Amino acid sequence: MHGLVLEHIARDFTDGRQVRRVLFPTDLEIAAGELTVLAGPSGSGKTTLLSIIGLVLRPSEGRLVLGNRDVSRLGEDAAAGVRLREYGFVFQQPMLVEGLSILENVLLSVAVQGKRPSKAMRKRAMDLLASLGLEATANQQPRLLSGGMKQRASIVRALLKSPSILLCDEPTSALDAESGQVVVRILKRIAIEEQRVVVVVSHDARVFPYADRLIKLENGRVVSDTREQYVEGSGLAS
């Protein structure tokens, strides 16, 4: 699995006539096989950075290199193709599509460009749902599930295509402490056992103990970037 390299990535927003730099030039290498947590106060640019990494927002400056490829200047359709093949997303809200069953929601992540999901893919979806304790919900409507179950279902949706990069924005903030822990443990396990790039944005202190690497942003700048020191003593993946 390849990592991600950010070279001098910066982002400006214009509100009104004024151009405001929200993210100052940032260089980062994000490796597979560890849980990277992006922390910082509100408005510090975490979501902006994650959106750029996730190819849904273009940087104003700099390059984003995935494998050997600069993916920061791709056209809309090409970026969508990369998102479809390489990325899994978990949002603050589960964002499941009402009307589609849990299984259909999960399958949508591989079939959004119109392809029909294969039998093998269906089986994998069922296995993943089962591994997160959701096998009984496969044919249910999202609204019948608890917040924690929905968030787990959205993790299954992100994992179905075996993405090399998993991006999560505040995946625990809408959950109670217990469901939140379950979710973080799952993410940690995926990073380590499946050797993927996993980036979690969070300002939830309960997430930090699980981080292999903790990057702190303030006012659009990386102010600290620490490895491993939070890990000891915390209960690891279940």
Partner 1 sequence: MRSLAAFRMVVHDRSSTAGALLGVVAIVFLVGQQLSVLFGLLNYMSVLVDHSNADAWITSADLRNADAGNLISARYLDRAMGFPQVQWAAPLLIGNGLFRTPDGSFEAIRVVGCRRPRLAGGPWDFAEADETALLDFESVTVDRLDFEKLGRPAVETVTEIGGRRVRVGAITDGARGFQGTLVFAPFDKVKEVAATPPGRYSAILLRFLPGIDHDDAVARLRSAMPGCSVFTTAELSRLTRLYYFTNTGIGGSFGFSTAIAVMIGIVIISLTMYASVLGRYRDFAVLRALGGRQRDVAAVVFSQALLIAGVGVFIGFVLLAALLNATRGSAIPSYMPSYVSPLLAGIAIVVSLLGSLVALRQALKAEPASVFH
Query: Rule CB under 6 A: which residues touch ligand ATP?
Result: 13, 15, 22, 40, 42-48, 203
CA dist., res. 99 & res. 39, Å (int)? 35
The entry of ligand ATP, partner 1, Mg ion, none near residue 212 (CB within 5 to 8 angstroms by kind) is: none
The entry of Mg ion, ligand ATP, partner 1, none near residue 44 (CB within 5 to 8 angstroms by kind) is: ligand ATP
Strand partners, 98: none
Phi and psi angles of residue 32, each rounded to the nearest 5 degrees, phi first: -80, 160
Rounded to the nearest whole angstrom, what is the least distance from the CB of residue 233 to partner 1 in the complex? 32
Say if CB 168 and CB 90 are below 8 A apart.
yes
Tokens of 138: 């496969």
| Contact flag: residue 22 with partner 1 (CB under 8 A) | no
With respect to ligand ATP, which residue has the nearer C-beta, 8 or 13? 13
The entry of Mg ion, partner 1, ligand ATP, none near residue 91 (CB within 5 to 8 angstroms by kind) is: partner 1
DSSP character for 4?
E
Q: Which stretch binds partner 1 (CB under 8 A): 26-34, 96-104, 192-200, 215-223?
A: 96-104
Rounded to the nearest whole angstrom, what is the least distance from the CB of residue 43 to ligand ATP in the complex? 4
Q: Which residue is listed with tokens 């979710």?
A: 183
CA dist., res. 179 & res. 101, Å (int)? 21
| Interface mask toward partner 1 for 109-148; x: CB under 8 A | x-xxxxxxx-------------------------------
Tokens of 215: 């990057």
The entry of ligand ATP, partner 1, Mg ion, none near residue 99 (CB within 5 to 8 angstroms by kind) is: partner 1
Say if CB 191 and CB 33 are below 8 A apart.
yes
Return the SS3 of 39: strand
The entry of ligand ATP, partner 1, Mg ion, none near residue 92 (CB within 5 to 8 angstroms by kind) is: partner 1
Strand partners, 197: 34, 165
